Every structure is written in C-alpha cells, then in structure tokens.
Amino acid sequence: MLHGHGDDLYLYPDIRINFSSNVYNHFSHAALFSYLSGRLEGVVNYPDPTPRQLEQELAGEMGLTPSQVMVTNGATEAIYLVAQTWRDSRSSILVPTFSEYADACRMQGHDVRFIRSLTQLDDAPSHLCWLCNPNNPTGQVFDKEILLNAIKSHADVLFVIDASYAVFTRQPLLTAAEAVLMPNVLLLHSMTKEFAIPGLRLGYLTGASALLHRIARQRMPWSVNRLAQDAGSYLIRHRSDYRLPLDTLLAERQRMATQLQQLGLTTWPSDTHILLCRLPNGMASTLKEHLARHYKYLIRDASNFQGLDASCFRIAVQTPQENDALLHAIALFLDDSKVR
C-alpha cells in the first residue's frame, strides 16, 4: 500500500463515532459472533486453498456458475490480482477515486494515466479502464446507458468496475448477471462494505469465466482464512438480517449536504450515503485531528485522492443523532477558526 488507506481507526483507539469508513456502523453482529465462536476449532486445520464452497454459494445466489465468481481477501486483493494479471499494461483511472487502483497498477509496472470522463478513452489507447461505481469518494453513480455504450464501443479495453458500494444506492447499476456476458468487464464486490465487517477482509470478483481463469493463475493459495470463509457463508444465509435503512441514509446525506453548505462548505453531488466535502479555508487534516482529539469523531482526510486537495474530507453518514453531533462540532470548529 503506497499511499495509505483512509480507514485509520487503528490509530485512534478511543473514537466514539466513525464517519471515516464507508460502512454502516449500526448492524448487530451478535449472532455472527456467536456462530463464529462455535467454529473456532476449524482454525487448527488448513481451509480450502480456494474458497470453493463460498464461491458456489455466491454463484447460486446470483444465478451464475462458480467459474464466474472468485472470492478474495477483500476487494483489495481483487484489485491487486487484476493489476498483476495484466502487468505492464496501460491503465486509465477515472478520478477522483480510490488510490488503491493506481498503487496496484504502479506496483505491476502499468503506465497509469488519470482521466475525468469516459470520453477521454478515445484520446489515448488503454488496455484497462478502472472506475468505482458508485464512486468513492464522491458517491456518484455513472449513468448506466453511458457506461454500457463505453464498454461496447471499447471492446479492446478491460473495464474493471469496483461495485463495492452497490448496496448504498437506488440508481441502476450493471449487475453481475450482465457483466459475465461481456468479455471485457470485471466487477469487484465487497462483503466488507455490505455487511460492515472490514476486519474479516472478504470480497469477490465476478466476470466471464475466461477472465477469471486467467486471474486464477496469479492467485495465492489460502488467501481467505477459515473464519472469513465461514463468516461469508453465514452472511449469505442471513442476508435479511443486514438490511440497510437506505432511504434514511440517503435522506440524511442530503440533509447533511444542505447543512454543511449553509456553514460555507462545498459538497459534491452524491447518489449514496457518502459525502465529499471541501472546507472554505484551512486543511482537512487539521479538522480531522480536532474532531478526533476533542470529540472522538473520525472523518476521512481526502487529500490523498488523486485530483483533490488538502481542504477535502469525506464522511459516511450514520444516524441522525450522530450526524447532528458532527455538524455541531464542525460548526464550532469553523467559528473558532474565524476568531483565530
């Protein structure tokens, strides 16, 4: 990891409300913990070197074949596997977005360029196009028809589409069932985000069997540990216990955007629970440290996203009460900054 991941909660052990990680922090995992506690004896044996059972379960749920699904150690392993499989390629990355795509590509010798529109793919040939949809850090969703047209008109480009935040929007998205029919599309999925289990590191790829077969040659055995595999199977069976209050989250995101704009901040349009913001002056890192030290709230300093500057930060909205607490703390910080 060359530039650093945003969720650095491990550096702030006494945080009370985490707005930094793009997960919903209010699921109850008590039943999952109880289930896993009864599976602990499994850690004394090697797991399946490739999580075939979990891949079969996911495939069955989505109406795919197991050869069209590859479970990984979080979506991040999938990113690095794709970059490794197409090493020394030319990659275009739509920005602003998650820095891990560029990190993985550079590690594997890619010629990386950053673009702000799919139309820029016509300006210079690329082997791969990386995009996050819904996007991190803006929360925006690409128009599905525009995306499909780009995929069809650039048949020689592999579109690597990170769909980790798919459960956080009402906008139409490319589905796994659609993607596997296209020879130049890979979808990345995150059980980490969907079920709020970032510590377990669980994700998967979907795509045409030929693409996944090629990636599988780079795959490290046992990258997904026994408890993570067990957790994945449990979560699929209990998906109904993890229903997001999506309408509430989307309404709160809009309310937060309005309130922050009234405080003088700039906010990006969003189709999810994610809100990218820019301070009217000063640095987001200063605000982050102030909120962590004085209120035990954690936000994401977004300055290390390509195309953003030191005034940008990102939040994932939580409950109305928690969001109000953050708004109050930011308002006091801004008032204090004016006095100084």
Report pLDDT for 339: 45
> Coil, strand, or helix at residue 68?
helix
Report pLDDT for 8: 74
| Peptide bond just before 96 cis, omega within 30 deg | yes
Neighbours of 329 (CB within 10 A): 19
Residue 99's Cβ-count burial label (10 Å; 0-12, 13-18, 19+) is buried
Q: What is the spatial distance between Cα 135 and Cα 142, in angstroms, rounded to a whole number? A: 8
> Coil, strand, or helix at residue 63?
coil
31 alpha-carbon distance from chain centroid = 25
Residue 321's Cβ-count burial label (10 Å; 0-12, 13-18, 19+) is exposed
pLDDT at 245 over 50: yes
pTM assigned to the model: 0.94
Average the pLDDT over each of 9-13, 118-122, 321-325, 326-330 and give the range with the smallest value.
Answer: 9-13
Q: What is the mean pLDDT of residues 12-25?
A: 90
Task: List, for residues 171-216, the tens digit of each pLDDT value.
Answer: 999 999 999 999 999 999 999 999 999 999 999 999 999 999 999 9
Task: List, for residues 84-101, the tens digit of each pLDDT value.
Answer: 999 999 999 999 999 999
Confidence label for 59 from pLDDT (cuts 50, 70 and 90): very high
Confidence label for 2 from pLDDT (cuts 50, 70 and 90): very low
Task: For CA atoms 256, 257, 260, 262, give the dihedral sign.
Answer: negative
Q: What is the spatial distance between Cα 340 and Cα 337, in angstroms, rounded to a whole number? A: 5
